[in-house]
Amino acid sequence: MLNSGMSLKVNLRHLEGRDLHLKGELPAAELDFAVRDDMIRVEKPLRYDLEVEKLHEALLVQGKLELMLDCQCVRCLKAFEYRLKLDHWAAHLPLAGEEKVSLEGDFVDLTPFVREDMLLEFPQHPLCQADCGGLKKSAKKPAAKPENQSAWAELNKLKL
């Protein structure tokens, strides 16, 4: 089943006696990452390819998740794309008991589980390359201090 809808919902009735294959894209706005990091922006859709299986009183969801992040390097400030890819993503979602997932009619929304696991994979400090040297040093040399003047000289002039 190709799903390019606005959320990643599974109809439990479609799982009676068979597995469900979900493949498609989820718009970035639907994921609602609410990223508070100026160095990471989520603007491209999440791609997913998932198998959903009903096991007794639970759902087993397995598959691939992929998301391109628009990042800015924390060292050199260069813009770059960062590919988040979970090739073996899995979620076990109980349908009964204390830990059961919330249902909307016959539907289970997978979006919160995908969001949480993708957020855990976001880079802490995005780097364009592992060995990024940072901003290029300016060719100008800083003005030399008189040799006999200490770093504290200016502070000593303050009258407190």
Task: Give helix then strand counts, H and E, for the chain.
Answer: 3, 9
Provide the β-strand partners of residue 10.
108
Contact in structure between 158 and 71 (CB atoms under 8 Å): no
pLDDT band at 3 (very low <50, low <70, confident <90, very high): very low
Q: For 77-133, what is each residue's pLDDT tens digit?
A: 999 999 999 999 999 999 888 888 888 888 999 999 999 999 999 998 999 999 988
Q: Which domain holds residue 142?
A: 2-156
Does 6 have pLDDT greater than 60?
no
User: Which among 60, 62, 53, 58 has a CA at the least distance from the CA of 94?
Assistant: 58
Model pLDDT, residue 138 = 62
Q: How many domains does the chain have?
A: 1
Alpha-carbon Rg for the chain in angstroms: 25
Mean of the per-residue pLDDT values for the chain?
85
Question: CB neighbours of 156 closer than 8 A, spacing ≥ 6?
Answer: none
Q: How far apart are CA 94 and CA 96, in angstroms?
A: 6
Is the Cα torsion angle 93, 94, 95, 99 positive or negative in sign? negative
Does 2 have pLDDT greater than 50?
no
Mode of pairing for the β-strands spanning 40-41 and 58-72: antiparallel
User: Which among 77, 118, 113, 80 has a CA at the least distance from the CA of 94?
Assistant: 113
